[in-house]
Structure 1
Amino acid sequence: MSRNLWIVGGLSLALAACGPKRVAPVQQYSLGMSRAEYRDYSAAKTNICDAEPRWLSDELGAVNGLMDRFLASTEQAKNPEAAEHDQQVALLKEASGSLGKVLDVHQRNLQALQRCGFARSGGVPELMKRGTTLVEQSRTRLTEATQVLAVEEAQRKWKDEAPQREQTARQTWCAKNPEVGTTDVYYARKFADGRTEWLFCDGHVVQSAGGAEPTLVSPEGLSAKDRRKVKPPRYLEAARGYPAEEIDKQPTVGGDSAPAQSSEASGS
């Protein structure tokens, strides 16, 4: 009887040893319009080398593809003149709160994959090399995102507070009823996309955008008498002579991080 129990026990142990290995659970990740599935083999205490090589390559390749699309879809986030700038900044914001964890898992998986017997066969070496490069590039982009998002907040604050700075400057430098034709600049601002405006006490504005020659914009409702007083070259000259350091500049990435002009801005 005891011999039979010993045999049964031995068979049970043998069957257990040959039974299915622990499988790391699938996790799904979404970023913008991109989707990918991945497994955290380290957290699940499973051996990545036990995975079927073909579907493992597909799985890791899918994460590589997601990182590739993330990098391509955020390369213009630092360029406020790009048509897709706002969309790319939004994607950076989304990634900054979630992508780091996926990068950590992917990096561990790629490092563990190097110890597998199939690590040097087929397209696995290129997959590992590409994945390592993409992880590094994605981490760099996330680091840049911190600055981009900080500047975005500073730009919003600059825009919200600009009307008050403009009003204060007008009250400081303009007469109560300025005469049309006088070329007193009371306030100038430069937007992150390069557009610049010079505001005159008599309501005229000189605008410059995209490297084009500055143009004069007259206020609505000018009488014929007042229009005769307006000499465009004088306004353009006054704009060119306005001190650059007194222009209220919207913050830009790698540039100003706060409004350059205070509420006590100088007139011209």
Structure 2
Amino acid sequence: MNLVIRKLWIVGGMGLALTACGPKRMAPVQQYSLGLSRADYRDYTAARTDICDAEPRFLADELGAMNGLMDRFLSSTDQAKNPNSVDHARHVELLKEASGSLGKVLDVHQSNLRALQKCRFARSGTFPQLAQRGQELVEQSRARMAEAGQMLALREAQARWQQEASQREQTARQTWCAKTPEVGSTDVYYARQFADGRTEWLFCDGHVVQSATTAGSEPTLVSPEGLSAKDRRKVKPPKYLEAAQGYPMEEVDKQPTPGGNSAPAHSSDAAGT
């Protein structure tokens, strides 16, 4: 064999050997921030790299960091459905922040956990616990995000209902009330029910019947300000309460609630009860 060719073969073989023994290409590190939490992770699937080529110690740190972030996310949003909690507003804001980004990160983390199972070190050290806990946290986080989507949509619908309520009330008054309604006529022109169950019946003469706010209490009649003594004598509270009770519930303007809808527009049959 030609001496020059033999040298080229030797040099080429050494080059291949060095390449095979060199460091494997790793997925780039990405950082995810949610609220005050931070975590570094790698998307091995998108980078077309093998997670099993990662240094086990560093990989365990990455998976543990993501598990920790999800754990903090769950604990920092558990009061989002409790409007009476002092943490309610803060937890809702974190859910809003997560709604636009967390889903993609959960996909990556779950993909990494699945790919981990084929690695030779998957059943050693802390990896079994990391994988089991990580899968649990992914599922819980997805469930929380699904609840958040429904809750945020409901909150938007409730806010829109509140903003448009005055216009609906004004339209109903113009439709069903005389320009100078007679005090004591007990004509209901509009009724609304809030998400917490409170209900109001509005009368053309300015009176309002409000449903009981506590168990065992009776509805109350609220008179308009500036009512003269003559007009006050025309007011018969039982008649207003009876008119409110007789108003069709299907015509009440209801604020959206979970699993419910707003009532339909008032019909001519319901006016002037």
| SS of equivalent to 1:55 | helix
Say whether 1:242 aligns with 2:240: no
Residue deviations 1:154-201 (CA, integer Å, cap 9, x gap)? 334423332232122222332322233443322111122333222122
State the match for 2:45 in structure 1. 42
Residue deviations 1:59-116 (CA, integer Å, cap 9, x gap)? 2122223333334444455566766656555444433332221121111100011112
Give the alignment partner of residue 203 of structure 1, picking from 203, 206, 213. Answer: 206
Q: CA deviation at 1:233?
A: 4.5
Give the alignment partner of residue 157 of structure 2, picking from 147, 154, 157. Answer: 154
Say whether 1:105 aligns with 2:70: no
Residue deviations 1:114-153 (CA, integer Å, cap 9, x gap)? 1122222233222211221222233334344443344344
Give distance in 2, aligned partners of 1:228 and 1:122: 85
- In structure 1, stretches of 5+ residues that fail to align are none
8 Å CA contact 1:206–1:239 kept in 2: the answer is yes
| SS of equivalent to 1:199 | strand
TM-score by length of 1: 0.82
State the match for 2:177 in structure 1. 174
The number of residues matched between the two structures is: 266
Give distance in 1, aligned partners of 2:236 and 2:67: 61
Give the alignment partner of residue 166 of structure 2, picking from 142, 163, 167. Answer: 163
State the match for 2:220 in structure 1. 215
**Any residues of structure 2 matched to 1:26-175 within 5 Å, and which?**
26-75=29-78, 77=80, 88-175=91-178
8 Å CA contact 1:30–1:36 kept in 2: the answer is yes
8 Å CA contact 1:194–1:209 kept in 2: the answer is no
- In structure 2, stretches of 5+ residues that fail to align are none
Residue deviations 1:193-215 (CA, integer Å, cap 9, x gap)? 33322212221223347545333
Query: Relative contact order (alpha carbons < 8 A, sep ≥ 6): 1 or 2 greater?
Result: 1
For the pair shown, the structure with the greater C-alpha radius of gyration is: 2
State the match for 2:195 in structure 1. 192
State the match for 2:22 in structure 1. 19
- The code of the aligned residue for 2:258 comes to V
TM-score by length of 2: 0.80
- Which segment is superposed worse, 109-118 or 213-222? 213-222
- The code of the aligned residue for 1:255 comes to G
Give distance in 1, aligned partners of 2:41 and 2:236: 68
Give distance in 2, aligned partners of 1:5 and 1:17: 18
8 Å CA contact 1:179–1:202 kept in 2: the answer is yes
Give the alignment partner of residue 255 of structure 1, picking from 249, 255, 260. Answer: 260
Residue deviations 1:16-73 (CA, integer Å, cap 9, x gap)? 3332221211112223343322110111122212223333222212222333333444
8 Å CA contact 1:172–1:264 kept in 2: the answer is no
